[in-house]
A and B are shown apart, each in its own frame.
Chain A
Amino acid sequence: MTDVLIDHFTYEYPGSTVKVLNDVDVTFKHNHFSLLTGPSGSGKSTLLYFIAGLYPHFIGNDALGGIKFGDTDIKQIPSNEISHSVAMMFQNPNQQFAMDTVIHELTFVLENMLVEPAKMDGIINHALAFCGIKQLRSRVINTLSGGEKQRVALACIVAMDPPVIVLDEPFASIDPDSRLDLIKKLKQLQVEHGKTIILADHDLNDYKGVIDEFYYLDPDTHHISLLDSQSAQHFFDNFKNTQTINKQVAIPTEAAPSIINIKDFKLQPHHSLLLKLGDFKFCKEKTTLITGANGIGKSTLFNALTKLLPYDGEIDFAGKNIQKIRPLPYAKNVTLLFQDAENQFLNITVKEELDLSLKNRTNQAYSIDDVQTMLKELSIDGRDDQVVYSLSEGQKKKLQIIEMLIMNPPVLLMDEPFKGLDYHSLEVVVGFLNRSKQEFHQTQIIISHQLSGLDTLIDYHANFADQNLTYQEVIK
């Protein structure tokens, strides 16, 4: 029996006084598939890292309370045996392999676990076959897609064969087919191989009917509670609601003025076709929402629009081929709000960051008072000397949005700009964006999974599916 017992567990990050986990007292049951949900940044990952034995080693300070696998306290397990008890799958598919090829990584794992070399081939073949990736055996990991990499990560776990498997938002950047397939594989590991599975995710798609237990980490109380089926159902319904808005939008007419035109366009990084467009336009001074499943290529499209990735065909900005516009002027005209806020920061403190935007902006649309008001409305004012990297994820996002609004580029691309924002902040940001569009004539293109609350902002909706981008009237 390997129940995972979390016993009065309290943790705060070094240098912080906020308890991200406050007296958490739950039991993840043996041979169950447990889903742990809660808003991003609420501390789900932190708990999983402790369960996987990575913390406190990799973070510095310890937590109060304990974690037990059955009767064994995790602290009693020697460090070279912990991987016989628990294995972890990470969120970022790119940073979980030490070796170059799939087969080398699998042997690396087995060598670490002191498996006899003679037995390795059998174990590896079984693990690859189980995950349906025999054909990837000799491939170089860097050339695999996100979905393939996560399958390799699962194959490593299957080869390690620990009783407990923890997964930290493992599907955040992979395509829907891979996601569904991996969830099925995990279920199979639970049912046929008796594994205990603990998975953290804030995206609740595909879990209904698969999971046995539904846990919720409350971002206000920092408690985790096991929900009954009724409350769980409530969460599933709620999640569905955040993914829809009841708004009919128009389809841009032939005559609608455009600012970005895409012609005979093909996007195929790593030689797999993501998007093929004959003729497509983004309309001037409008907000276009792009929806579509994870990992399908939406962010990659933004990378092409910002010249971060090569593509076939032509992209025109204001009638001019973007390859013929010099990098600096182009970047000031077509600007990307990166999904990861840290990518946008160049300085150390909040004040330095804001000053940089004020110094380099191309127009004076926002006054200093405007900026102060915006900071106040998002309640991140008075933090002038704070190091930006020490802000919470939500605060980073807010600062990033304000500094890019100050730049006031004619076209602002936004990749999941509402991720990590609470609903009130989202409404405030939507207000800012509306002002930017109406008063300063900004064109906005938004990739977002969060849809509720955006009704007043969206003018057009383009759906990304089947290697195509098409305008649609309904948003779903």
Chain B
Amino acid sequence: MNPGLKLLLVMAIALEISFTQSLIVNVILICVSFIYILFNRVTFKALIGLIFWPLFPALGLFVSQWLYGSAGIHFAWILFTRIYAYVFLGATFTLTSSITDLALTLEQDFRLPSKFAYGVLAAFNLMPKINEEVQIIKTSALMRGEALHFWSPKLYFKAILSSIQWSQNLAEAMTSHGFVEDQGRTHYRVIKITAMDWVWFIGLFGIVQVLLFFIRY
């Protein structure tokens, strides 16, 4: 499915389940997403992470609602499954779509300014470097006798300083590679939203509406 439409679908469904209260639909969404992810051959480690990490907020919500809330255990279960539904819905997108394809379709089909599409893409590709940079900032601060923690303003000041520098370098590099804002470009890989994409999008979204309408438990 077209990554742009997929993202739209996932966000629409996530928004919807925030305002509806159906335990069974949440569970169905989790199961369907889970199966979809399995079919897309993700790593075992990623899968375990998906199940493990949301456990803390989900349990927290569950317990506080169950013990202190006024809406009862049913609502506590809805909150619990809702967290997992968000995570698995999100994973159907993040684990199976390439950010490059998303940028291409946002530029070509969703008419997003190319500056924005490629800027985000370039920034995304810089992520591993940002991690390294934070490590360097922390070590260098230690050498001057200061321990910087993730809440230290100085860490952010230095990180932002580096980011500004990098974004400037990146903008210069993109320009020197012929990129000019708001100018026409050709497309080696044309990504179109096909009729089939629309069928899936409308079909899946429709099914969720029907489920939410009929299953109120």
Please report A residues at the B interface, Cβ cutoff 8 Å.
49, 52-54, 57-58, 79-80, 83, 87-88, 90, 92, 94-100, 104-105, 107-117, 120, 141-142, 156, 160, 306-308, 327-328, 330-332, 335-336, 338, 342-344, 346, 356-357, 359-362, 389, 403-404, 407, 409
| Per-position 1/0 for B178-207, Cβ under 8 A of A | 111001111111100000000000000000
Of the candidates B169, B170, B188, the one whose C-beta lies within 8 Å of that of A110 is: B188
Asked whether, in the complex, the Cβ of B176 is within 8 Å of the Cβ of A120, the reply is no
Of the candidates A99, A107, A327, the one whose C-beta lies within 8 Å of that of B125 is: A99
21 contacts across the A-B interface (CB closer than 8 A): A58-B168, A58-B172, A79-B183, A80-B180, A80-B183, A87-B176, A90-B173, A95-B169, A97-B122, A98-B177, A99-B121, A99-B122, A112-B178, A112-B185, A114-B184, A117-B186, A142-B128, A331-B139, A332-B142, A336-B140, A407-B145
Closest to A336 in B: B143
Known A112-B177, A361-B145: A98·B187 in contact at CB below 8 Å:
no
The 9 A-B residue pairs with the shortest CB-CB distance in the complex, in nearest-first order: A360-B145, A331-B142, A112-B178, A83-B178, A96-B173, A95-B169, A98-B122, A107-B188, A88-B176
- B122 CB contacts on chain A under 8 angstroms: 97-99
- B118 CB contacts on chain A under 8 angstroms: 98, 108
> Nearest Cβ in chain A — how far from B112, in angstroms?
15
Alpha-carbon separation in the docked complex, A115 to B179 (Å)? 13
Alpha-carbon separation in the docked complex, A342 to B135 (Å)? 15
Asked whether, in the complex, the Cβ of A58 is within 8 Å of the Cβ of B171, the reply is yes
- A357 CB contacts on chain B under 8 angstroms: 144
Asked whether, in the complex, the Cβ of B144 is within 8 Å of the Cβ of A356, the reply is yes
Q: Does B216 contact A (CB under 8 A)?
A: no
Q: For chains A and B in complex, what number of residue pairs have CB atoms within 8 angstroms?
A: 148
- A108 CB contacts on chain B under 8 angstroms: 118, 177, 179
Known A107-B188, A407-B145: A306·B173 in contact at CB below 8 Å:
no
> Nearest Cβ in chain B — how far from A347, in angstroms?
8
Asked whether, in the complex, the Cβ of A332 is within 8 Å of the Cβ of B173, the reply is no
Given A49-B172, A105-B177, A346-B146, 5 extra CB contacts under 8 A: A95-B166, A98-B174, A100-B99, A331-B143, A336-B140
Asked whether, in the complex, the Cβ of B186 is within 8 Å of the Cβ of A114, the reply is yes
CB within 8 Å of A: which B63-114 residues: 99-100
> Nearest Cβ in chain B — how far from A338, in angstroms?
6
Closest to A88 in B: B176
- A109 CB contacts on chain B under 8 angstroms: 177-178
Alpha-carbon separation in the docked complex, A120 to B185 (Å)? 13
Asked whether, in the complex, the Cβ of A120 is within 8 Å of the Cβ of B188, the reply is yes
- B142 CB contacts on chain A under 8 angstroms: 327-328, 330-332
Q: Does B41 contact A (CB under 8 A)?
A: no
Asked whether, in the complex, the Cβ of A117 is within 8 Å of the Cβ of B144, the reply is no
Q: Does B11 contact A (CB under 8 A)?
A: no
Q: How large is the interface on B (under 10, 10 to 19, 20 to 34, 35 or more residues)?
A: 35 or more
> Nearest Cβ in chain B — how far from A156, in angstroms?
6
Of the candidates A114, A306, A360, A409, the one whose C-beta lies within 8 Å of that of B185 is: A114
> Nearest Cβ in chain A — how far from B183, in angstroms?
4
Known A114-B185, A307-B139, A331-B143: A95·B158 in contact at CB below 8 Å:
no
- B176 CB contacts on chain A under 8 angstroms: 52, 54, 83, 87-88, 90, 96
Alpha-carbon separation in the docked complex, A323 to B189 (Å)? 49
Please report B residues at the A interface, Cβ cutoff 8 Å.
99-100, 118, 121-122, 125, 128-129, 135-137, 139-147, 154, 158, 161, 166, 168-180, 183-190
> Nearest Cβ in chain B — how far from A53, in angstroms?
8
Closest to A100 in B: B125
- B190 CB contacts on chain A under 8 angstroms: 117
- B137 CB contacts on chain A under 8 angstroms: 343
- B174 CB contacts on chain A under 8 angstroms: 98
Alpha-carbon separation in the docked complex, A168 to B100 (Å)? 29
Residue from A105, A111, A112 having most chain B Cβ neighbours under 10 A: A112
- A54 CB contacts on chain B under 8 angstroms: 172, 175-176
Of the candidates B140, B144, B161, B171, the one whose C-beta lies within 8 Å of that of A360 is: B144
- A359 CB contacts on chain B under 8 angstroms: 145
Of the candidates B161, B168, B173, the one whose C-beta lies within 8 Å of that of A97 is: B173
Of the candidates A57, A92, A110, A362, the one whose C-beta lies within 8 Å of that of B175 is: A57
Of the candidates A110, A115, A328, the one whose C-beta lies within 8 Å of that of B147 is: A328
> Nearest Cβ in chain A — how far from B99, in angstroms?
8
- B141 CB contacts on chain A under 8 angstroms: 346
Asked whether, in the complex, the Cβ of A98 is within 8 Å of the Cβ of B173, the reply is yes
Alpha-carbon separation in the docked complex, A98 to B117 (Å)? 11
Asked whether, in the complex, the Cβ of B187 is within 8 Å of the Cβ of A111, the reply is yes
Of the candidates B121, B144, B168, B189, the one whose C-beta lies within 8 Å of that of A98 is: B121
Known A328-B142, A360-B145: A156·B171 in contact at CB below 8 Å:
no
- A79 CB contacts on chain B under 8 angstroms: 180, 183
- B173 CB contacts on chain A under 8 angstroms: 90, 95-98
Asked whether, in the complex, the Cβ of A98 is within 8 Å of the Cβ of B186, the reply is no
